[in-house]
């Protein structure tokens, strides 16, 4: 006991001497502070660190990770698990002393005991398995970035999931074929004429001196004509025109001949039916159109030309007041404007002229004749220009038949549906009476 006391006194004496020296005192305090800090670290880490459990290899999730791992990584994975097991059993105290090793072991445990793998992913493609296997490599620096891709693959399938709307875009493209479907009318508006009426005139403007001479020698006052009894005056009017040297027609020559004329100022939708009837009956008609009509329905104008009908001028402007009441210069300018439009648009040279509004004058007829036109009046005219007035077919058809004389020129408007309804029976009757149909 005395010996131990002497040793303790000697130790304390040595320690006192050491502390009394200023050179060694500072190192002693540093060592003591380090021990205190190390002890505190050990206490904190031991309190925070959860109890580690050895992974149960019977757990299906662990077994699945082991089975789905690629063949070239099975050995490394088993070695990794073995190493982690040994490190947990042997170096538990050492891991608590080293914070870095502690974090690495906790990462391995989180990977082993990590998120559950759904059952529907047991047969997942090898790409997913290969991406999960490197996650068990734990402490390696290269394995850390490889753990992020498993979170991105779910986003990649979602992106193709949003791609199905892309097929919907082509689904909205079928309307594009509908646009070419509306284009066929365009070719119809500008095909080359199949049949063109031979040019019989020499349409040209007159000089002012020529117009003044006509004004001085011919009656230029407009006069009306029409009515279902007009055919009774047609022969006398025709003889008067012939005596004045005017190329004007109230009758067509050739004996038992008939001409069907149709005045077109606007299109209510009956001209196509009329052309169908004429084609079925094998009859050629004479159509007189305005600029407004030609510009709005070029398809029908082309059909008239191609099917061999005469297309004549019904004035360019078609004013509400009959063109015959205008001065000669205005009538000439209007006729030339319509002529040039038809030439530039359809390549068609008009040679027949028909007044609008059922009025004419000898002076204007003489001027138009000198310009190269054949002026067309009529011998049978009926009030069918209204699209809204009802015409009784049982009354109208007998009147049409009663007006038949050699050379009759029937004047119709394609604005009333009854007109189109009566054309077929009228053609059959005229033929039954021994007449033929001609062009002007």
CATH number of the domain to which 321 belongs: 3.20.20.370
Residue where a domain stops, chosen among 122, 142, 158: 158
Task: Classify residue 298: in a domain, yes or no.
Answer: yes
Same domain, 106 and 254: no
Say how many domains are in the chain: 2
What pLDDT does 346 receive?
96
Task: Classify residue 186: in a domain, yes or no.
Answer: no
Residue where a domain stops, chosen among 158, 181, 196: 158
Task: Classify residue 12: in a domain, yes or no.
Answer: no
What pLDDT does 43 receive?
82
Same domain, 77 and 153: yes
What pLDDT does 358 receive?
80
Task: Classify residue 318: in a domain, yes or no.
Answer: yes
Same domain, 215 and 150: no
What pLDDT does 111 receive?
43
Same domain, 115 and 217: no
What pLDDT does 212 receive?
97
Task: Classify residue 378: in a domain, yes or no.
Answer: yes
What pLDDT does 188 receive?
45
Tens digit of pLDDT for each residue in 140-154? Answer: 444 444 444 445 444
Same domain, 150 and 259: no
Task: Classify residue 124: in a domain, yes or no.
Answer: yes
Same domain, 148 and 250: no
Same domain, 262 and 363: yes
How open is the CA angle 107-108-111, to the nearest 5 degrees?
A: 85
pTM: 0.56
What pLDDT does 133 receive?
41
Task: Classify residue 5: in a domain, yes or no.
Answer: no
What pLDDT does 392 receive?
82
Q: Which residues of the chain have a pLDDT value below 50?
A: 62-63, 65-78, 80-82, 84-87, 89-99, 101-115, 117-150, 152-162, 164, 167, 169-199, 227-228
Same domain, 285 and 356: yes
Residue 88: domain span: 49-158
Same domain, 154 and 226: no
Residue where a domain stops, chosen among 138, 158, 178: 158
Task: Classify residue 257: in a domain, yes or no.
Answer: yes
Same domain, 154 and 231: no
Same domain, 240 and 332: yes
What pLDDT does 81 receive?
46
Same domain, 329 and 393: yes
Strand, coil or helix: 196: coil
């Amino acid at each position: 006991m005395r010996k131990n006391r002497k040793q303790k006194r000697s130790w304390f004496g040595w320690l006192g001497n050491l502390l009394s020296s200023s050179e060694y005192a500072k190192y002693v305090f540093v060592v003591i502070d380090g021990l205190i800090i190390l002890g505190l670290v050990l206490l904190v880490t031991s309190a925070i660190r959860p109890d580690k459990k050895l992974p149960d290899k019977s757990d299906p999730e662990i077994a699945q990770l082991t089975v789905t791992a690629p063949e070239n990584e099975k050995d490394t994975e088993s070695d990794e698990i073995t190493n982690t097991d040994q490190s947990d059993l042997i170096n538990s105290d050492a891991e608590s002393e080293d914070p870095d090793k502690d974090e690495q072991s906790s990462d391995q445990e989180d990977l082993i005991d990590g998120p559950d793998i759904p059952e529907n992913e047991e047969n997942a493609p090898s790409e997913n398995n290969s991406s999960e296997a490197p996650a068990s490599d734990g402490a390696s620096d290269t394995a850390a970035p490889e753990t992020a891709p498993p979170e991105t693959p779910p986003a990649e399938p979602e992106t193709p999931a949003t791609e199905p709307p892309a097929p919907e875009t082509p689904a909205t493209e079928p309307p594009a074929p509908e646009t070419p479907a509306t284009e066929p009318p365009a070719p119809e508006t500008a095909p080359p004429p199949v049949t063109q009426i031979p040019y019989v005139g020499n349409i040209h403007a007159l000089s002012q001196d020529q117009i003044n001479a006509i004004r001085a020698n011919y009656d230029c006052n407009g006069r009306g004509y029409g009515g279902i009894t007009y055919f009774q005056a047609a022969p006398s009017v025709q003889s008067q025109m012939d005596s004045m040297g005017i190329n004007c027609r109230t009758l067509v020559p050739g004996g038992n001949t008939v001409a069907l004329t149709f005045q077109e100022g606007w299109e209510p939708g009956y001209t196509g039916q009329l052309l169908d009837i004429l084609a079925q009956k094998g009859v050629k008609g004479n159509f007189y159109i305005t600029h407004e009509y030609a510009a709005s329905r070029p398809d029908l104008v082309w059909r008239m030309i191609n099917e061999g009908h005469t297309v004549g001028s019904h004035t360019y402007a078609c004013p509400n007041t009959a063109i015959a009441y205008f001065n000669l210069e205005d009538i000439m300018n209007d006729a030339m404007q319509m002529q040039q439009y038809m030439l530039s648009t359809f390549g068609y040279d008009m040679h027949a002229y028909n007044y609008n509004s059922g009025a004419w004058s000898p002076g204007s007829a003489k001027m138009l004749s000198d310009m190269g036109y054949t002026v067309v009046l009529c011998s049978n005219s009926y009030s069918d220009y209204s699209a809204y007035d009802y015409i009784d077919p049982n009354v109208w058809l007998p009147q049409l038949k009663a007006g038949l004389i050699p050379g009759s020129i029937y004047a119709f408007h394609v604005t009333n549906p009854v007109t189109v309804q009566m054309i077929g029976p009228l053609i059959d009757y005229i033929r039954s009476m021994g007449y033929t149909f001609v062009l002007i």
